[in-house]
Amino acid sequence: MSHTDPLQPPHANGDETTELLSARGIRKSFGDNVVLQGIDFGVRRGEVVTLIGPSGSGKTTVLRSLNGLETPDAGTLEFDGGPAIDFARPVPPKQRLAMRDRSAMVFQQHNLFPHRTVLENVIEGPVRVQRVPKARAVAEAEALLERVGLAEKRDAYPHELSGGQQQRVGIVRALALKPDLLLFDEPTSALDPELVGEVLHVIKELADEGWTMVVVTHELSFARQAADEVLFMDGGVIVERGAPADIFTNPREERTRRFLDRIL
Ligand code: ADP
């Protein structure tokens, strides 16, 4: 891992102009179902990219392809100008692990271990996978819990928390891995409406602090406020991309317009 302060994004003192991630020609089918038909995009350090589009358009599959939960059939991924991972060939296990280390995912459902406390959930990845000494992992986890207002919940079990608190722990668990890139897969769509705000607030703060993130979301007001770039997907392609002000107020493509008309 490239940085040590759990409260700071990894590039806090770094160069914000370089592309952290570059995806080219990503294709994926499940059986006969062609889900991604050649996806190209880049994410610069400190940038917030949101993926929007109708259900089934391939957004989650893009996100999962970025951290190895899905293996594309073709295309390349490059992290930080490193060697391209070419999915047209078998990906060597070492390269796959290195890719996985780059990012951390926050899922729609928080996926916390139900029989472990909040603190145990947060330190699991650092201690078991990254071999961080336990005392250090605990100290870092406590600092992260503090910053999302959950310090006093460290010894609680997930079922003792509200859905919004559980999802904030899910975010802390991702941050504890000190990834270069945070991936959010509809992080608020499983929440009761009154709990959405507290989770979006945390994500917005992370965005403002300069974390690099790719966010799949139906929360267009969040995308409008937090995104540097919005990608609109439909039918496995990126139909349109641009700054939120352009996409939301002046979409060029008919498909984008129809989608926005339906949900705005
Ligand atoms: P979105 O996130 O835009 O709703 P997804 O990426 O989840 O879209 O899904 C795109 C398409 O891929 C859908 O038709 C879905 O049924 C299919 N799909 C996704 N994951 C799998 C899988 N593991 N096996 C088979 N089909 C899948």
pLDDT band at 222 (very low <50, low <70, confident <90, very high): very high
* Spatial CA neighbour of 158 closest among 125, 120, 118, 206: 118
Atom number, ligand 1, closest to the C-alpha of residue 186: 2
Of the candidate ranges 3-17, 132-146, 157-171, 214-228, the one whose mean pLDDT is the lowest? 3-17
pLDDT at 16: 59
Q: What is the dihedral of CA 231, 232, 235, 237, to 10 degrees?
A: -30
Mean pLDDT of 224-253: 96
Q: Return the beta strands (E) in the chain as ranges.
A: 19-30, 33-44, 48-52, 74-79, 85-86, 103-106, 181-185, 212-216, 229-234, 237-242
Angle, alpha carbons 233-81-103 (nearest 5°): 60
Whole-number CA gyration radius for the chain: 18
Residue list, ligand 1 pocket, CB within 6 Å: 30, 33, 35, 53, 55-61
* pLDDT bracket for residue 99 (50, 70, 90): confident
Give the tokens for residue 46: 């400190």
Given a cut of 80, is residue 159 above it in pLDDT? yes
Task: Give the Å distance between the CA of 78 and the centre of ligand 1.
Answer: 23
Mean pLDDT of the chain: 92
Residues facing residue 237 across a β-bridge: 234
Nearest-atom number in ligand 1 for the CA of 57 is: 3
Give distance in angstroms: CA of 191 to centre of ligand 1: 21
The DSSP call for residue 234 is E
How high is the ipTM of this complex? 0.98
Task: Output the pLDDT for position 81.
Answer: 83
With cut-offs at 50, 70 and 90, classify the pLDDT of residue 95. Answer: confident
Sequence spans of domains, the chain: 110-178
Q: Whose CA is nearest to atom 7 of ligand 1?
A: 60
CA 87 to mean position of chain CA atoms? 21
Ligand 1 atom nearest the C-alpha of 54 is 3
User: What is the Å distance from ligand 1's center to 35 Cα?
Assistant: 7
Average pLDDT rounded to a whole number, residues 170-192 = 94
216 CA closest ligand 1 atom index: 2
Sheet containing 33-44: give its strands across.
33-44, 19-30, 74-79, 85-86
**pLDDT over 60 (residue 255):** yes
